[in-house]
Structure 1
């Protein structure tokens, strides 16, 4: 029931971030028996004393080319290709995904005899269907930077989710992230004479002031905007030991959030805020596009949403209000901080089972992740020609031109993303990157749902078969909880709601989830 991050994480890895030191880690998978590898290179130098490790075919399906109008100029593409070969010993051959048919093209590449070495794939689809190459030996021999770039403080679950039968089948893009947050208009706080709130009482005082003093005027100020999922992901954890999602009772049973005693307390506060007009009336019928529209129109004071709804739109808001600025608020409730860490991803960088040069592929990935300048070379081109540092110590760069667009980029890693940001007055980097560096990989001021340690291994298909009313239960929970918040159903009927869930099959849900959790926990 946790909010899934999915493709948003891939987008984050394309944006860039503030410089942050990355330590080596101990997440390197243990090697298994050798599976063998073929190096199509030679012992000759590729240039500058670097050995020739052959050609590596990269399918650039991370999404970073999706918004590019024009691909690289032919001359620039060849220049970057040769530059990378001289530095890494690998000649990278790009395979550009057709827009709108990226998955279809990948399926054809994996099923046919066309050359393919590196792509982004998923455990449930590509590994399960035998399309991925085992990585243990390659990582041990040639991938020290691939594993070493991952900080010790980040969850090992991101690596473990990409393992099966003792073998690593992909390298992760990102750790589990706490991307939902409370962001507040700093300039409006100054206008109403309040500081950044640190607890529920102070947060309510801010919303009250925004409503009464109406910084926008004509009653257009929205004290807080949110949605069902985001409200739960940001605020419900303030009232419970775990964030929104499964929790474990004293008997060891896995239960849904709505059965937690603290959840009713949470709903009571939300219903009160809604009744007072602090929560935007249309919050639970408003999609992300509408939220962004309201933010850009300079109307939203507090947002309990995915961080980019506000932070990534600051530059545009400043066209209306030059002083506009959102800040993140670390709120504590009766049970401490509340922001929920998202689920563990099961997609990552894979080497094709049919790769003709798996060693070269791993060496290329290792070169990319050995230094942020290598990473940016594949991303933006030759340093000094296509991009340049404006403050290398802080990881700030600017693009000189757009002759090269990133066809050779692969092996995305958020551990690299937090090490750089773009200098561009029209960019939202200056607002988004601090959040990247400080909040996305937060491990202390966050909450984890109760089965977080193994939930990414749950067999969703099997659970769905054993709980035939699963979708009905999930729909009922969202519908009825929304009614309680909006006042369409009195909170005095909450016990009746829990009884309705029993009639809908929640006890079977508990039984199946508990069995699945215990089986995985005891492995």
Structure 2
């Protein structure tokens, strides 16, 4: 999590240079008379049509998120230059501490024409700060004039969510709403104990008891019915059966963190019982991600919480150790009163803005708009049909190795997306390996739509109190929940812990989140 105080100090220290640079560059043409695009002064005489047609487009300068290959030599860069007519110099933020580097570049007035960052909480905080401090270009008027493709492609609700104080300073790239993780189980173990994949919490307990008592893996005292890594104290799928699939969930019209949710004690009791009965890995709190995966792929564990993106690697490692092994995702589990749910991502995958220091803000918007011309966007994202992909029965499938070589990192060139069609184009990426596709498809398409519960805070604006304390509070709750599951703390102390949680920023976060939520629901 970004150290916001340190970054604010850095920003203030360099404000003078930012102001000087932004004042010098605030005109789209950086004209010597200092007039801006919004000036009421009489416009200069219009150039003739032939002069306008012949005028060369300026070279633009774009700052991107880190990727492993040089943007300038990646095939997508050349493709975009040919299609948009703009030559672009691409620079990258560092992989380590990118926020610090970005603060320096913004404050020093480095004349980037477009800057793309991830849409995570820390970068949303920076975006908000920059906009409020006058470091970014208001894109609204420019998009009205030069951005018809932007308006047609980007979900209006997403554009609205990106506004700061009523003005749009960035073009957001919408996250594809995917379920990321669920419970992955040994199908061959189920077959050996004569059971089907569980669909309820009660059935899950019975399956895990059978895994323990009948030892279908032949592990003896090393047998582990269910393993997770140590920071998975809220287990996806199980926690959804208690009506708490996301960090914050709607409880009687109020967004409520899990620790304050009335269902929290019942969830803890359930997990504690799994632990007491030897159904949950007794070493789970110490497990790193690699440790939990090793226990599963070695054949010692019958079930694991896992991201679908890991399926091919996990399947390869498992069958190497246990050639006859088979594994799959279980359905969304139903709990009391039929509650169920898997957390689905929602929000900004990345955001792109034009700093005031840009020498070519109008051309920057024209370039961003040209990238969202429908056919240009499609070819940028997944390439050329019958060269990079095939299209059959409404499905896009990659042609490898050229798809991986020339489009695998195309997502890093996105500056807004065709929100209606991109989720379908994107599926070409998960068809690189049909095991990957089958895993993603089951929890994101085969399972009923009501099992996927979107994060209600996904499109929330930057919330200072919430952002400041989120990581600390999450750590507090995680440590406490783990102790409850282990039996190291009595559940009778919950009220006292909630009081500490509120005092540490939880109460301020709750108020801020729900002030926003009340307005968002209208």
TM-score by length of 2: 0.70
Change (3 A) 1:263 1:406: closer
- The structure-2 alpha-carbon separation of the partners of 1:289 and 1:363, relative to structure 1 and needing over 3 Å to count, comes to farther
Q: In 2 relative to 1, CA 35–311 (structure 1 residues): closer, same or farther, beyond 3 Å?
A: farther
Runs of 5+ consecutive residues of structure 1 not aligned to the other structure: 1-32, 37-41, 465-469
2:326 and 2:211 mapped to 1: Cα distance?
15
2:437 matched residue in structure 1: 430
> In structure 2, do the counterparts of structure 1 residues 138 and 400 end up closer, same or farther at CA, with 3 Å as the change threshold?
farther
The structure with the largest alpha-carbon Rg is 2
Q: In the superposition, relative to structure 1, how do residues 151 and 301 fare at CA in structure 2: closer, same or farther (>3 Å)?
A: farther
Counterpart of 2:62 in structure 1 is: 58
Is residue 496 from structure 1 mapped to residue 493 from structure 2 by the alignment?
A: yes
In structure 2, the partner of 1:22 is none
Does 2:234 match 1:231? yes
1:27 matched residue in structure 2: none
Cα distance in 2 between the residues matched to 1:472 and 1:410: 32
**Structure 1 residues 286 and 356: CA distance shift in structure 2, 3 A:** same
1:30 aligns with none
Map 1:126-137 onto structure 2 (within 5 A): 126-129=127-130, 130-137=134-141
Are the counterparts in 1 of residues 143 and 365 from structure 2 also a CA contact under 8 Å? yes
Paired residues, what number? Answer: 457
Give the Å deviation of 1:53. 5.1
Stretch deviating more after TM superposition (310-319 or 118-127): 310-319
Question: Are 1:444 and 2:450 counterparts?
Answer: yes
Deviation of the 1:472 alpha carbon = 8.1
Judged with a 3 Å threshold, the aligned counterparts in structure 2 of structure 1 residues 508 and 116 are, in CA distance, closer, same or farther, namely: closer
Deviation at 1:325, TM superposition (A): 3.6
For residues 316-335 of structure 1, the aligned pairs below 5 Å read 316-321=317-322, 324-335=326-337
Q: For 1:510 and 1:204, locate their aligned partners in 2 and report how far apart those are by CA, in whole Å.
A: 33
Task: Tell me the secondary structure at the aligned position of residue 261 of structure 1.
Answer: coil
Q: 2:415 aligns with which of 408, 411, 415?
A: 411
Contact 2:128 2:164 in 1 (8 A): no
Match of 1:88 among 84, 88, 93: 84
- The match for 2:166 is 166
Q: How far apart, in 1, do the equivalents of 2:312 and 2:266 lie?
A: 30
Q: CA deviation at 1:133?
A: 2.6
Residues 176, 345 of structure 2: 8 Å contact kept: no
Please tell me the root mean square deviation across aligned C-alpha atoms, in Å.
4.6
Deviation at 1:520, TM superposition (A): 3.0
Aligned partner of residue 182 in structure 2, secondary structure: strand
SS of the equivalent of 1:204 reads: helix
Q: Per-residue displacement from partner, 1:203-238 (whole Å, max 9, x unpaired)?
A: 223322333343432244532223454535532332
Kindly tell me: are residues 471 and 167 of structure 1, through their superposed partners in 2, closer, same or farther at Cα, counting changes over 3 Å? closer
- Which residue in 1 is equivalent to 2:368? 365
Change in CA separation of 1:462 and 1:137 when aligned onto 2, cut-off 3 Å:
same
Specify whether residues 302 and 471 from structure 1 end up closer, same or farther in structure 2 by C-alpha distance, changes over 3 A only: closer
Residue 388 of structure 2: aligned partner: 388
DSSP 3-state at the match of 2:115: strand
> Structure 1 residues 384, 43: CA separation in 2 closer, same or farther (over 3 Å shift)?
farther
TM-score between the two structures when normalised by the length of structure 1: 0.70
Q: State the partner residue of 1:337.
A: 340
Residues 390/318 of structure 1: CA separation in 2 closer, same or farther (3 Å cut) = farther
Q: Is the 8 A contact 1:245 1:257 kept in 2?
A: yes
- Aligned residue in 1 for 2:6: none
1:490-520 alpha-carbon deviations (Å, 9 max, x no partner)? xxx4233323543x36478665345434543
Residues 1:431 and 1:59: Cα distance change in structure 2 (over 3 Å): farther
Note closer, same or farther for the CA distance 1:428–1:100 as it changes in structure 2 (3 Å cut): farther
Mark the CA change 1:315 to 1:431 in structure 2 (over 3 Å): closer, same or farther: farther
Q: Which runs of 5+ in 2 are unaligned?
A: 1-35, 40-47, 118-122
Distance 2:264 2:430 in 1: 44
Query: RCO (CA 8 Å, sep 6+): is it higher in 1 or 2?
Result: 1
Question: What is the CA distance between 1:333 and its match in structure 2?
Answer: 0.9
Summarize deviations over 1:115-166 as a string: whole Å, max 9, x none. Answer: 42222233311441244332223444444544544579xxx4x544421111
Match of 1:349 in 2: 352
Q: Aligned runs of 1:250-269 on 2, under 5 Å?
A: 256-269=257-270
CA offsets 1:186-218 (integer angstroms, 9 cap, x no match)? 444344433332211222233223333434322
Structure having the higher helix fraction is 2
Contact 1:200/1:331, CA 8 A, preserved across alignment: yes
1:247 & 1:98 partners in 2: Cα distance? 35
Give the conservation status (yes or no) of the 8 Å contact 1:368–1:375.
Answer: no
Preserved CA contact (<8 Å) 1:295 1:309: no
**Which residue in the other structure is 1:11 paired with?**
none
Counterpart for residue 179 of structure 1: 180
- 1:337 shift after superposition: 0.9
